[in-house]
Structure 1
């Protein structure tokens, strides 16, 4: 399968380097210099992945990421010169699947692209019988990534979904912050465990009755009495 990758980046040098490396690996690539053009491409011919800069003319990358994530779980890799931890957390919480700080190695970017496609293919190949996870008032449909609490579908980001699914598949098990970082963000993420606390806080704010319990000095668990 020839995956189609949309690159939203206004730096011509980075456009040329990234597209050349990806094309060499057999990917189809469309390069755009603004988020507005990216949305037009999304409407006309949806890419299988986005590589997205944050600082763009007009609409910024954060807003673009949010708009795409509201419609799809297509993988998004953010590349940005913004290297503060809060910038990375914001990008990931808005729905980015990975975050690379400029300057970066094009080969590393290609490796992350391949890893994300491999993960997505693995997620989409699960059998239907294993699709549904139900514990208490929580119901998750893994294949189409829909989540319901007390019968009401919840609007959650990619990382929120991944964390809740991990808890639901291991109900009542306590996870350390370090393990949650690896399981939700991946082994290549080098941010602090503050990202875990912030994500739990966002989930609790959205679904206040979901019993995510703090295990003091360790991490978190979803405490639900299974039916």
Structure 2
């Protein structure tokens, strides 16, 4: 196991404990005291996961989470002394994959790290020899996790790909926002279904002509008129 985890925390004691537990499990760990330092790392050597404190000097964890989400769906686990429900919802709606309140057990954090990695890391599906799914001008290479529109490859994030793959495999079927939350974010996701609407907006911005329809008051579907 050589996944790289960036730990952004200004408490030296928590830094040492978290780092020790993660390294013992075989993770490569980089510890930073500020979001500014973490952003410098992100621009040069991107970690596979962030463990992020909210109360930081300078840029706070919420702002850092928001900046990361503008570029990537890399897993983010938020750790914070703020235990109000509104703080948890805010952290998750800004893109956090999990939220852990201080003080916490290092073993619980480790369990959540493994669970989030398991939920977000996708392995090739070797059971399918032919992995191409085509809907109109839209083509998905499932095993390679690549998307093409009109023959041109488009860059998409992990969750954008997951939603497009789900909808392409079930064309003309309407999915509710609640279904999409469970299938894309997982059953233990704690947050608003606005995350689904935000994801759809990003997909439509990248693929303006995609027949991704809103089912008003319910959810979304990918239309295929050839069916």
Tell whether the structures are fold-level matches, with TM greater than 0.5.
Answer: yes
What secondary structure does 1:180 align onto?
helix
Structure 1 or 2, whichever has the larger Rg, is 2
Superposition TM-score, scaled by structure 2 size: 0.75
Q: 1:177 to 1:186 in 2, by over 3 A?
A: same
2:65 alignment partner in structure 1: 62
1:100 alignment partner in structure 2: 99
Matches within 5 A, 1:47-58: 47-54=47-54, 56-58=56-58
2:216 alignment partner in structure 1: 216
2:93 alignment partner in structure 1: 89
Question: Cα distance, 1:10 vs. partner?
Answer: 2.4
CA RMSD of aligned residues (A): 3.3
Q: Deviations over 1:5-39 (max 9, x none)?
A: 22122233432332233234343322122344435
Q: Deviations over 1:30-88 (max 9, x none)?
A: 2122344435555776544332345544555236524762xxx6544344548263442
Alpha-carbon separation, structure 1, partners of 2:159 and 2:89: 16
1:126 alignment partner in structure 2: 125
Superposition TM-score, scaled by structure 1 size: 0.75
Alpha-carbon separation, structure 2, partners of 1:2 and 1:55: 28
**Structure 2: segments with no counterpart, 5+ residues:** none
What secondary structure does 1:156 align onto?
coil
Mapped contact 2:92–2:190 kept (Cα < 8 A): no
Alpha-carbon separation, structure 2, partners of 1:178 and 1:22: 33
Matches within 5 A, 1:112-151: 112-119=112-119, 123-127=122-126, 129-151=129-151
**Structure 1: segments with no counterpart, 5+ residues:** none
1:9 alignment partner in structure 2: 9
Q: 1:143 to 1:55 in 2, by over 3 A?
A: farther
Q: 1:84 to 1:49 in 2, by over 3 A?
A: closer
| Farther-moved stretch of structure 1 (30-39 vs 79-88) | 79-88
Alpha-carbon separation, structure 1, partners of 2:48 and 2:89: 27
Query: Does 2:179 correspond to 1:179?
Result: yes
Q: 1:199 to 1:19 in 2, by over 3 A?
A: same
User: Aligned residue pairs: how many?
Assistant: 218
Alpha-carbon separation, structure 2, partners of 1:143 and 1:136: 20
1:191 alignment partner in structure 2: 191
Q: 1:198 to 1:37 in 2, by over 3 A?
A: closer
Alpha-carbon separation, structure 2, partners of 1:130 and 1:79: 42
